[in-house]
Amino acid sequence: MLEVLTGSGLAASAGLNAYIPLLTMGLLARYTDTIDLPGGWQWLSNGWVIAILAVLLAVEMVADKVPVVDHINDVVQTIVRPTAGGLAFGAGSSSETVTVTDPGSFFGSHQWVPIAAGVVLAFGVHSVKAASRPVVNATTAGFGAPVASTAEDITSVLLSLLAILLPILVLLGLVLLVFGGWWVIRRRQQRKRERRSVQGVETQQLFG
């Protein structure tokens, strides 16, 4: 159960920022005894991999805080974040993988299940994040983008650390994410109704 919670927390974290959970696991595995990565995931603690993830994280954090650019970044991240979520869930839940030279064994052993679960979970969180950003930008004239992005980065870091150190608390984080998703959907529907109402009034005035 704790392994599933760890994988879920890391995948959800990747839905907010693809590189934070991977970098967190890599750093903790390389410099501490907090996490022991399974054999198939030792590459995460490689120095070059950590350096590349750090550079990608820096680019992501800057791009995500600039209005309009953040939308383009979200489009690009539609592939990256779910992929990172699958990797994070797979590594975090301690699932072993075989080499791609034997895909039959990979699928037959069901080792793909945690990776697929991570992809789905990260994609869900990413979808909510991407849907909420236009609402934030529209209601704050773009000034809310860096605030929202910073809050998402902090949440991603906290989720990653909780998933590794206190996985039972990941449940609380997931509940908050579900509540946030519900609020975003409700807010978007409200804005659509307001726009339709304004358009109806303008049409009446035009032809009235």
What is the domain partition of the chain in residue ranges?
A: 2-207
Q: Does residue 97 contact residue 111 with C-beta atoms inside 8 Å?
A: yes
pLDDT-derived band at 99 (thresholds 50, 70, 90) equals: very low
- Higher pLDDT residue, 140 or 200? 140
Q: Which stretches of 40-111 are DSSP H helices?
A: 47-63, 69-92, 103-108
- Confidence class of residue 1 from pLDDT cuts 50, 70 and 90? low
Residues near 21 by Cβ (< 8 Å), separated by ≥ 6?
10, 11, 13, 14, 84, 88, 92, 156, 159, 160, 163
State the Cα–Cα distance between residues 168 and 191, nearest whole angstrom: 36
Over the stretch 71-89, which tens digit does the pLDDT of each residue have?
A: 888 888 999 999 998 888 8
At residue 46, does pLDDT exceed 50?
Answer: yes
**Residue 61 confidence (pLDDT) above 70:** yes
* Residue 25 structure tokens: 């696991």
Q: What is the pTM of this model?
A: 0.75
Q: What was the pLDDT predicted at 135? A: 76
Q: 19-31 vs 47-63: helix axis angle to the nearest 10?
A: 150
More confident residue, 14 or 184: 14
Question: Measured between alpha carbons, how far is residue 111 from residues 52, 95, 106, 204 in Å?
Answer: 27, 7, 6, 60
